Structure 1
Amino acid sequence: MQEAAAWSRPSPDRTGYRADLGLALLFALASVTTALLYSRTGVYPEPAPLWVCILGLGLATLPLALRRKYPVPVALAVAIGFVICGQFGVPEVLIINMTLFCALYTVGAWERRRALAVWARIGIGVGMISWLVVTLIIASSEEDAFPGFSRSGIFSAFATYAVIQIITNLLYFAGAYFFGERSWRAARSQAQLEAQGRELELERQTSAAQAVALDRLAIARELHDVVAHHVSVMGIQAGAARRSIERDPERAAAALQVVEESAATAVDELRALVGTLRDPAKDASAPSTIGVANLSTLVIESQSSGTPATLIVAGTPRPVPMLIDVALYRVVQEALTNVRKHAGRGAAAEVRLRFGPDAVEVEITDDGVRQGLAPRVAGSGLGLRGMRERIGAVGGTVSAGRRERGGFMVRASVPSASGASTSSASGSANIGPLPALAHAALTPHPERLA
């Protein structure tokens, strides 16, 4: 209600004012024409002088050129012109009734001060009807007025005529009031709808910008996971090949083979990512080629790059929703990459995959830097942030920090209830037997989720 009361109808533009001027001139021309026609009929035996006709018709028509700029003053001027025409016998009835109605309608439709609009119409209406009643009373005592109309009795012909005139004028002013108010409310409703439309459009643009930002963030995470992991492997193996190419060519060749395989894998994953970006519908339902079933491959790559790693699986493997499957895989991939980059030479990693009754969890730990070696290199923190965003998107949590006995630990846990809610939309990854590793890399363990 407060917004409705505060709303103010905007003024028309130049085209609107030109239209009002044209309407006023059209009414003025029409009133002159009808006045000449009425004079010809002889209905007015003693018409008003010419200057009175010009004054009355001018006031009743020409002010309408400013009707939407000054509604109340225009209505008062038109009402005065109407009274002059009626009181002094200007031979015109049709057009001046139309102009008065238009002026009163404009007050209701365009006057911004609503209280003034209400009282101005009521005042003009009461004044005009009072003038009509007084005129009828005076006419009732004049025998020459309305000849042939009986004046005897309450329901005489003249009394009936007077009642009809009063009812007609009441309907006339009530109609002008009603249609003016209706126009004002319709304009206010239209303005509110347009404002809501602008707000919705702004929200749509904001949502679109947020969606683009989220997509860019997801792409950045994927690129970070793919590039950081494989490039770190290639960098370590390339360095090992450079140092051993003269002393141990076979070892150098093996390291270069790892570089070649990592490069090929990185290219394949990047090609798949770019293909998804080009045609999302094409790959939306395609099964993911990575997941917790491929953790053993990550462990083998870590061992090949010179970082000892062990995979331990606890609990009974079960189907995991695809989004969770990929998220857990990426956490392990990023954590092992961080071990290679920051834990220093000689650090060993341990990957634990736990299937608990209420959650699926991965834990990646390393034993830190051995005594006498270089200290751990500090990272930018983007990797951990990406882990938290990825796991948080599927309803899980990530914790990371230094261990009391040395080294670093990353733990990601996703509740089974969260997985159930996303499985219908994303599909499930069927977790079969994990690929066999060397005995030193895969160690059975009876551990359960605490």
Structure 2
Amino acid sequence: MLRPAPASPPVIDGVEWVRPGPTSEQVRNDAVLAAVLTAATAASVVLYRSTGYGSGVDWWWAALWVAGIALPLAARRMVPELVALVVAAVFMAGGIAGVGELLFCNITLFIAMYSVGAWSRSRVRSLIVRAVIVLAMFTWLIWSLLYSSAVQDYLPELGRDADGPLSPYVAYGLINVVTNLLYFGGAWYFGDSAYRSARARAELEQRTAELAAERERLRAQAVALERMRIARELHDSVAHHVSVMGVQAGAARRVLERDPQAAASALSSIEQSARDAVDELRRTVVALRTPGADTGPIDVGSDGGADAAASTLRIAQVSELVDEARAAELPIDFTVVGEPREVTPLVDLAVYRIAQEALTNVRKHAGRGARADVRLRWLDDAIELEVADTGLGERATTGSAPGGLGQVGMRERVAAAGGTLELGPRTRGGYLVRARIPYRSGRR
């Protein structure tokens, strides 16, 4: 049975897909095909005329018919509808005139019909052209069958040795109808199948290109996020120790002449802070460069990578930060409320880094004479870190400018651990940093 073309145009990502024109190589192949079929059809005409079939047609007319039935196929992919109409018209003209060739003319018509379904840029036009050709062919076939049944001498040998339940003319007509249904139905079906295959290949190529672009985008994003993570770790590792060294260097300068012993003690602290900074920097770089240290996918603000997996910095070491701040002449109170609980490495590192950054900013921005208060609360479902100061300096804040890297890093760490962060000036003066992080970190 004939298969109609799709009722609606094919769509890829909301845009109607139109098959692109043939390549130069395909056009050359079609020209070769047309030349080969022209030669084969001419040879077939000679053979048929040698048997006496079609010998009543002049040679020049037969030559024109051969050229008209085969040569148009050279343009079958460029103008498939026009080629099909021309080949069909020449096919009918040859049949009516009695050229007699029955082999290659059917092959050329099949290819022309197939090309309309496979290469037409408009599915509506493809449907109309093929429908017109099929209707014309079946009209001609029915007329021929009616004529053969009405004219006794048209097929005199038909029915001479007939042996079957049907009339010879009825059987002859059915054979022709079924043959033509299979012939045109096959050309229609395979043409549409070729078009659908081309559309599927185009869609696959589009998806492949999109996936390649997405992979490139994710690769670039991963590189940028990794650079940001490394920058944050280096900032947290170095800024704390450098700020302590700056405070201690200032203290040593002030007492160098009147109290050499105190100055020497401050210089020793500077030396130790420098060693600590280098040691922590080394551990951070080694952790970030360790293959397989990443425990999860990279995400904005995520510490689920090498820093969480390999760092030795823990909540228990917050007290060491407090001792360092006191050694740098910062008055500070430290309070722990509740019983310590087991937490993930991500939470351990996040709390330590937030405390480190907050105390660093107290020394940098709170001003001389300010006091700090550090409180670590072990709650039922979360750990809460609070760092407050009295903020007596010119810039009475523990954070840098609103867009500073210190505050950005704290927000990223808290977000990665699934917690909340509160920071800003206090109503009674000073600055407050309060982070609340669940024991089992998770993205919210």
Measured after TM superposition, the shift of residue 210 of structure 1 is 2.4
Q: Match of 1:65, as an amino acid?
A: A
Q: Secondary structure at the match of 1:11?
A: coil
Alpha-carbon separation, structure 1, partners of 2:45 and 2:331 = 110
1:92 aligns with 2:104: no
Alpha-carbon separation, structure 2, partners of 1:250 and 1:290 = 32
Cα shift readout 1:27-52 (whole Å, capped 9, x = no counterpart)? 111111222222223334x3421221
Alpha-carbon separation, structure 2, partners of 1:29 and 1:322 = 81
Q: Secondary structure at the match of 1:404?
A: coil
Cα shift readout 1:385-427 (whole Å, capped 9, x = no counterpart)? 21111111110111111122221110000134x43x58xxxxx
Alpha-carbon separation, structure 1, partners of 2:413 and 2:114 = 63
Q: How many residues were matched structurally? A: 416
User: What does residue 303 of structure 2 align with?
Assistant: none
User: What does residue 49 of structure 1 align with?
Assistant: 58
User: What does residue 82 of structure 1 align with?
Assistant: 91
Note if contact 2:350-2:414 (Cα within 8 Å) is conserved in structure 1. Answer: yes
User: What does residue 243 of structure 1 align with?
Assistant: 254
Q: Secondary structure at the match of 2:78?
A: coil
| Residues 346-355 or 189-198, more deviating | 189-198
1:398 aligns with 2:406: no
Cα shift readout 1:160-205 (whole Å, capped 9, x = no counterpart)? 1222112101110111111111111111122222222222222222
Alpha-carbon separation, structure 2, partners of 1:73 and 1:360 = 79
User: What does residue 225 of structure 2 align with?
Assistant: 214
| Residues 315-324 or 90-99, more deviating | 90-99
Measured after TM superposition, the shift of residue 248 of structure 1 is 1.7
User: What does residue 438 of structure 1 align with?
Assistant: none
Alpha-carbon separation, structure 2, partners of 1:150 and 1:197 = 62
1:169 aligned to which of 180, 187, 191 = 180
User: What does residue 430 of structure 1 align with?
Assistant: none
Note if contact 1:302-1:336 (Cα within 8 Å) is conserved in structure 2. Answer: yes
1:241-320 alignment to 2 at 5 Å? 241-281=252-292, 287-320=310-343
1:39 aligns with 2:49: yes
User: What does residue 128 of structure 1 align with?
Assistant: 137
TM-score normalised to structure 2 length: 0.88
Note if contact 1:55-1:81 (Cα within 8 Å) is conserved in structure 2. Answer: no
1:22 aligns with 2:32: yes
Which consecutive residues of structure 2, in runs of 5 or more, have no partner in the other structure? Answer: 1-7, 295-305
Q: Secondary structure at the match of 1:280?
A: coil
Q: Match of 1:324, as an amino acid?
A: V
| Residues 332-341 or 179-188, more deviating | 179-188
| Residues 130-139 or 386-395, more deviating | 130-139
User: What does residue 203 of structure 2 align with?
Assistant: 192
Q: Match of 1:394, as an amino acid?
A: A
Alpha-carbon separation, structure 2, partners of 1:304 and 1:41 = 118
Note if contact 2:284-2:311 (Cα within 8 Å) is conserved in structure 1. Answer: no
Alpha-carbon separation, structure 2, partners of 1:414 and 1:280 = 28
1:10 aligns with 2:33: no
Cα shift readout 1:213-233 (whole Å, capped 9, x = no counterpart)? 222221121111112111111
Which consecutive residues of structure 1, in runs of 5 or more, have no partner in the other structure? Answer: 423-450
Alpha-carbon separation, structure 1, partners of 2:353 and 2:291 = 21
Q: Secondary structure at the match of 1:90?
A: coil
Measured after TM superposition, the shift of residue 375 of structure 1 is 4.8
Alpha-carbon separation, structure 2, partners of 1:358 and 1:172 = 77
Note if contact 1:237-1:305 (Cα within 8 Å) is conserved in structure 2. Answer: yes
TM-score normalised to structure 1 length: 0.87
Measured after TM superposition, the shift of residue 374 of structure 1 is 4.4
1:367 aligned to which of 384, 387, 390 = 390
User: What does residue 115 of structure 1 align with?
Assistant: 124
Note if contact 1:59-1:81 (Cα within 8 Å) is conserved in structure 2. Answer: yes
Q: Match of 1:226, as an amino acid?
A: S
Note if contact 1:57-1:85 (Cα within 8 Å) is conserved in structure 2. Answer: no
User: What does residue 301 of structure 2 align with?
Assistant: none
Q: Match of 1:112, as an amino acid?
A: R
Alpha-carbon separation, structure 1, partners of 2:27 and 2:395 = 81
Alpha-carbon separation, structure 1, partners of 2:44 and 2:56 = 13
Alpha-carbon separation, structure 2, partners of 1:34 and 1:337 = 97
Q: Secondary structure at the match of 1:155?
A: coil
Alpha-carbon separation, structure 2, partners of 1:218 and 1:225 = 11
User: What does residue 356 of structure 1 align with?
Assistant: 379
Alpha-carbon separation, structure 1, partners of 2:394 and 2:189 = 89
Measured after TM superposition, the shift of residue 291 of structure 1 is 1.4
Alpha-carbon separation, structure 2, partners of 1:22 and 1:275 = 66
Alpha-carbon separation, structure 2, partners of 1:174 and 1:21 = 26
| Residues 139-148 or 381-390, more deviating | 139-148
2:69 aligned to which of 60, 66, 70 = 60
Q: Secondary structure at the match of 2:236?
A: helix
Q: Match of 1:22, as an amino acid?
A: V
Q: Match of 1:399, as an amino acid?
A: E
1:223 aligns with 2:234: yes
Alpha-carbon separation, structure 1, partners of 2:174 and 2:242 = 100
Q: Secondary structure at the match of 1:86?
A: helix
